[in-house]
């Protein structure tokens, strides 16, 4: 069953396509949707769909820009334009980007089904052709099906001769492979499979590399495979490396591999330094395997980063504000939090009661993140006083104790890129224009690199995390304030109240009004 991702800024169109088209009956699965290209791009990286169905004219990043970026880093995805504009210039641009179908709105379910089936057939045919082409190219190479792979493997030896490496580049060029690039990155792909399973995995990796159009090449090694990624510059090479690694991890031939390790080496600018990238990738693998292994994508830059995982999607915004904040900001944060809850509340005690509970949850989570036992660090008397106090002094004392424990462990603000990102998100989640690239830029990473590292260290994709953070805050406002649902939508980062309601129900199983009514009744 092929996976489809939908992008359109009109919520009525998304709802109509989502609810009225018989996806599974036609052999498709709608795995996600977004109102614009900027929001869609990180989700597409996370979900790895087979087909992208997108409108053209959208705010922030339009459909053409989205298709161009998808073609650059995820060229194996089939793209379909869904537009209300019958404009030849758009159609011509779409063709240049490799878009497979250009459909004009309004479109019927029958027309959409026929178009998707045509695209699915083209994708299946292309995949078969890529497999055949990869085999043919190997056969054409002097009649030896393994020559190209053997030549490439010679780059991944401990020592190399510069003259031989130059010869290798010339030989590969004769075979139709150009290894000249601005930057190079090596990925060490380790998977403990044997015999036929290992051969199938290597073949699947080769086919995936073939689909990149000459930006990635693979060869086998004793414990898995090597991948050589070519890029125009350091950021481009990094984007391609992390995108390829994420897609490789989703290959059916590797999905059941419990100890899959994709280790990404340093980016080098000289062809003759490829071995240095290879050695650093191998070093990463050895270091991570020594920590217990598992399925993971990890690069040199995050090898020594401390990891902090979220236990569930039920995020507390108070916890998010305090998790990495310095202790001297505690009073200001508590004042802001109390003022917000006190704005329009039905009773001061209701707001303070929520603040007490949120503070206890936040304190326990902060101590747990620091690797300590909350029951030992936060004694019962301290918690009891925080829960029954009329003011916030006891709440402050409890949180200060948790933050002191955190600081002693060295897990405060600024310790890891993901820590800095989460702190940034805790302050900026209400910005409706906030995108993955903003946060990646804040911590100095490319989008693909940041997306991979963030999801592995938090257990959530960037989109899931931001959505959960916003919905968590919305729950607080619904429970403790009299704000209208449309006001809350804007307060937590949604410009479209209908889209907010849809996302809220998707996350909680209830509409905002149902959630408010149920939680008021409990109190």
CATH of the domain at 498: 1.10.10.60
For residue 309, what pLDDT is reported?
Answer: 32
- pLDDT tens, residue by residue, 173-211: 777 778 888 899 999 999 988 888 888 898 889 888 888
Positions of the chain with pLDDT under 50:
136, 138, 140-145, 304-315, 343-347, 413-414
In-domain check, residue 136: no
Q: Is the peptide bond before 106 cis (omega within 30 degrees of 0)?
A: yes
The domain that holds 238 is classified in CATH as: 3.30.70.270
- 463: in domain: yes
DSSP 8-state class, residue 60: S
Beta bridge partners of 52: 5, 79
pTM attached to this predicted model: 0.55
Q: What pLDDT is stored for residue 497 in this prediction?
A: 82
**249 and 332 belong to one structural domain:** no
272 shares its domain with 325: no
Helices 447-458 and 37-47: crossing angle in degrees, nearest 10, is: 60
Cα dihedral sign for 420, 422, 426, 432? positive
Closest CA relative to residue 205, chosen from 228, 222, 183:
228
Evaluate whether residue 139 is within a structural domain.
no
Same domain, 222 and 331: no
Q: What pLDDT is recorded for position 6?
A: 93
| DSSP 8-class letter at 444 | T
- Are 401 and 377 in contact by the 8 Å Cβ rule? The answer is yes
| Number of structural domains in the chain | 3
Other CB atoms within 10 A of residue 517 CB: 13
Co-location of 276 and 328 in the same domain: no
Do residue 92 and residue 175 come from a single domain?
Answer: no
Domain span holding position 20: 2-125
Q: Are residues 345 and 240 part of one domain?
A: no
* Percent of all residues in the chain with a pLDDT value above 90, rounded to a whole number: 11
If asked whether residues 157 and 254 sit together in one domain, one would say yes
Instruction: Check residue 51 and give its pLDDT.
Output: 93
Within this chain, do residues 282 and 154 fall inside the same structural domain, yes or no? yes
The CA distance from 422 to 148, in Å, is 45
Q: Residue 58 is part of a domain; what is its CATH number?
A: 3.40.50.2300
Cα dihedral across residues 467, 473, 476, 478: positive or negative: negative
């Amino acid at each position: 069953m092929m996976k489809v991702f939908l992008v359109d800024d009109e919520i009525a169109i998304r709802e109509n396509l989502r609810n009225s088209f018989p996806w599974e009956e036609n052999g498709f699965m709608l795995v996600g949707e977004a109102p614009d290209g900027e929001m869609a791009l990180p989700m597409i990286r996370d979900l790895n769909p087979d087909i992208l169905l997108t409108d053209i004219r959208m705010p922030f990043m339009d459909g053409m820009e989205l298709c161009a970026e998808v073609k650059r880093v995820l060229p194996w995805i089939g793209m379909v334009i869904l537009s209300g504009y019958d404009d030849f210039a758009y159609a011509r641009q779409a063709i240049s980007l490799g878009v497979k179908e250009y459909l004009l709105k309004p479109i019927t379910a029958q027309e959409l089904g026929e178009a998707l089936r045509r695209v699915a057939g083209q994708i299946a045919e292309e995949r078969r052709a890529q497999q055949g082409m990869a085999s043919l190219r190997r056969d054409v190479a002097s009649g030896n099906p393994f020559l190209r792979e053997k030549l490439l493997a010679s780059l991944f030896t401990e020592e190399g001769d510069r003259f031989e490496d130059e010869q290798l580049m010339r030989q590969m060029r004769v075979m139709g492979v150009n290894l000249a690039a601005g930057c190079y990155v090596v990925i060490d792909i380790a998977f403990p499979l044997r015999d036929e399973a290992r051969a199938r995995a290597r073949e699947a990796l080769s086919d995936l590399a073939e689909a990149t159009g000459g930006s990635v090449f693979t060869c086998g090694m004793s414990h898995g495979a090597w991948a050589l990624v070519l890029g125009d510059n350091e950021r481009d090479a990094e984007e391609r490396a992390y995108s390829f690694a994420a897609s490789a991890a989703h290959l059916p031939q590797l999905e059941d591999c419990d100890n899959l390790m994709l280790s990404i080496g340093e980016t080098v600018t000289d062809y003759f330094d490829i071995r240095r990238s290879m050695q650093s990738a191998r070093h990463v693998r050895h270091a991570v395997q020594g920590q217990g292994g598992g399925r993971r994508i990890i690069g040199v830059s995050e090898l020594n980063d401390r990891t902090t995982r979220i236990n569930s999607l039920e995020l507390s915004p108070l916890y998010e504000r305090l998790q990495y904040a310095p202790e001297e900001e505690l009073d200001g944060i508590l004042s802001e939090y109390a003022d917000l809850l006190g704005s329009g509340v039905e009773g001061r005690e209701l707001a303070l009661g929520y603040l007490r509970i949120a503070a206890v949850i936040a304190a326990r989570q902060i101590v747990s993140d620091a690797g300590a036992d909350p029951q030992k660090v936060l004694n019962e008397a301290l918690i009891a006083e925080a829960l029954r106090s009329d003011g916030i002094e006891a709440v402050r004392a409890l949180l200060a104790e948790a933050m002191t424990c955190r600081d002693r462990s060295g897990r405060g603000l600024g310790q890891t890129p993901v820590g800095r990102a989460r702190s940034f998100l805790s302050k900026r989640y209400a910005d409706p224009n906030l995108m993955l690239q903003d946060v990646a830029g804040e911590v100095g990473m490319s989008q693909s690199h940041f997306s991979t590292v963030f999801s592995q260290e938090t257990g959530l994709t960037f989109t899931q995390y931001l959505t959960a953070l916003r919905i968590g805050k919305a729950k607080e406002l619904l429970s403790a304030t009299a704000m209208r649902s449309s006001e809350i939508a804007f307060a937590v980062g949604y410009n479209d109240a209908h889209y907010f309601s849809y996302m809220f129900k998707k996350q909680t199983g209830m509409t905002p009004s149902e959630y408010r009514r149920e939680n008021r009744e409990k109190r």
